[in-house]
Amino acid sequence: MSRPIYAHIHTDALSHNLERIRQLVPGSKVWSVVKANAYGHGLEAALKGLSLTDGFALLDLAEAKTLREKGWTGPILLLEGLFSQEDIFMVTDLQCDCVVHDFNQIDWLEAFSEARSSNRLPNIYLKMNTGMNRLGFTPAQYREAYHRLHSAGYELTHMTHFANADYIDRTPSVDQQAELFNQSREGLAGGTSLSNSAAILWHHHVIYSDWVRPGIMLYGASPSGRYEDIQEAQLQPAMSLHSEVIGIQHLEGGQSIGYGSRYRTDVPIRIAIIACGYADGYPRHAPDGTPVWVAGADGLSSGKVCLMTGQVSMDMITVDVTDMPHVQVGSKVELWGKHLPIDKVAQAAGTIGYELLCAVAPRVRRQ
């Protein structure tokens, strides 16, 4: 028998979330961001659930190759572009578009343009640093970068990334970044790609771009970490992480649980041991009180939240089921998903939904 933990990937939820994005930004095309193995959901599931997207955006050529081998013939965007000059040959073979954020990349692309024979030139998304201060050309450098690539025969789209789209009181604001972006590209031909998940959710009414780049919202989790945002946007969780109870312990008052004896009982309690630990990707730093959904007598739909007690170990967690006397070995649990929003778990564990989704280990079966 296989260990009972598995991740159920809801491809119908992916399709639903993509449609909700189209409703929020009806005039824009959608790059569905599937980096980090589709945020832990798997590229094959993402391709099935997001088959109606306009394009897929990701980081590395291996993932692009996988999409092509699985039958995707539409656009693919490499979000960090070329990592070496040799990458350009595989980029053209796979017919990928490239983000360009550094003058070294421009040097490589100019050399390729001069030496090419019949190879098609990739479309370029030229990245402007308007305040995120990670990748991209400063506004002062941007026109030089644009004209060099334009002169080399490349078709360009203007691109930037918002630092604070999920905040209302931080600088630079979305409006400030958008204004700087528009001023710095004034008079330069080409479309635009601006909005991430947070900008789509909260700034779609003031920020327009030809292409948007949703990531976390496609998977039904919030860019801000507030699960209420997902409810308001009518998004659905695309992953439910399931397991089962594999043991029951009855403890008297004054006894401790797990490594380091972090949790000590004050009164007699009943503990369920669940097959899930940090080797499965569950956060080791999750504190006592982190929620876990435990099935009721009639199944998961009639279950309720129980609280974790004791340190997360490699393969197990423990939860207090004193108030659920029907729970026994084999009882179903949901670590996060349709009954327990991932953002609630992340909030309790002092992290974000992104990390939990991406951290689900390869040993956890995807269904």
Whether 233 is in a domain gets the answer: no
Domain that residue 286 falls in? 239-366
pLDDT in tens, 192-227: 999 999 999 999 888 899 999 999 999 999 999 988
- Statement to judge: residues 301 and 186 lie in one domain: no
CATH number at residue 154: 3.20.20.10
CATH number at residue 288: 2.40.37.10
- Statement to judge: residues 243 and 178 lie in one domain: no
pLDDT in tens, 108-118: 999 999 887 66
Whether 3 is in a domain gets the answer: no
pLDDT in tens, 333-342: 999 999 999 9
- Statement to judge: residues 56 and 193 lie in one domain: yes
- Structural domains of the chain, count: 2
Q: Over pLDDT 70: what percentage of the chain? A: 99
Q: Which two tokens stand for residue 244?
A: 């089962």
Whether 142 is in a domain gets the answer: yes
Q: Assign 3-class secondary structure to the chain.
A: CCCCCEEEECHHHHHHHHHHHHHHCCCCEEEEECHHHHHCCCHHHHHHHCCCCCEEEECCHHHHHHHHHCCCCCCEEECCCCCCCCHHHHHHHCCCEEEECCHHHHHHHHHHHHHCCCCCCCCEEEEECCCCCCCCECHHHHHHHHHHHHHCCCCEEEECCCCCCCCCCCCCCHHHHHHHHHHHCCCCCCCEECCCHHHHHHCCCCCCCCEECCCHHHHCCCCCCCHHHHHHHCCCCCEEEEEEEEEEEEECCCCEECHHHCEECCCCEEEEEEECCHHHCCCCCCCCCCEEEEEECCEEEEEEEEEECCCCCCCEEEEECCCCCCCCCCCEEEEECCCCCHHHHHHHCCCCHHHHHHHCCCCCEEC
Q: Which of 193, 228, 263 is the last residue of a domain?
A: 228
Whether 196 is in a domain gets the answer: yes
Whether 273 is in a domain gets the answer: yes
Whether 234 is in a domain gets the answer: no
Task: Please check if 134 is assigned to a binding site.
Answer: yes
- Statement to judge: residues 162 and 277 lie in one domain: no
- Is residue 99 scored above 90 in pLDDT? yes
* Better pLDDT: 226 or 270: 270
Lowest-pLDDT range of 180-184, 203-207, 319-323: 203-207
Q: Which of 206, 228, 250 is the last residue of a domain?
A: 228
Residues with active-site annotation:
35, 259
Residue 205: what pLDDT?
85
- Is residue 260 scored above 60 in pLDDT? yes
pLDDT in tens, 63-96: 999 999 999 999 999 999 999 999 999 999 999 9
The rounded distance, in Å, linking the Cα atoms of 353 and 235 is 14
Whether 336 is in a domain gets the answer: yes
- Statement to judge: residues 28 and 176 lie in one domain: yes
- Statement to judge: residues 224 and 245 lie in one domain: no
Whether 256 is in a domain gets the answer: yes
- Statement to judge: residues 73 and 200 lie in one domain: yes
pLDDT in tens, 21-50: 999 999 999 999 999 999 999 999 999 999
- Statement to judge: residues 126 and 266 lie in one domain: no
Task: Please check if 226 is assigned to a binding site.
Answer: no
- Is residue 1 scored above 60 in pLDDT? no
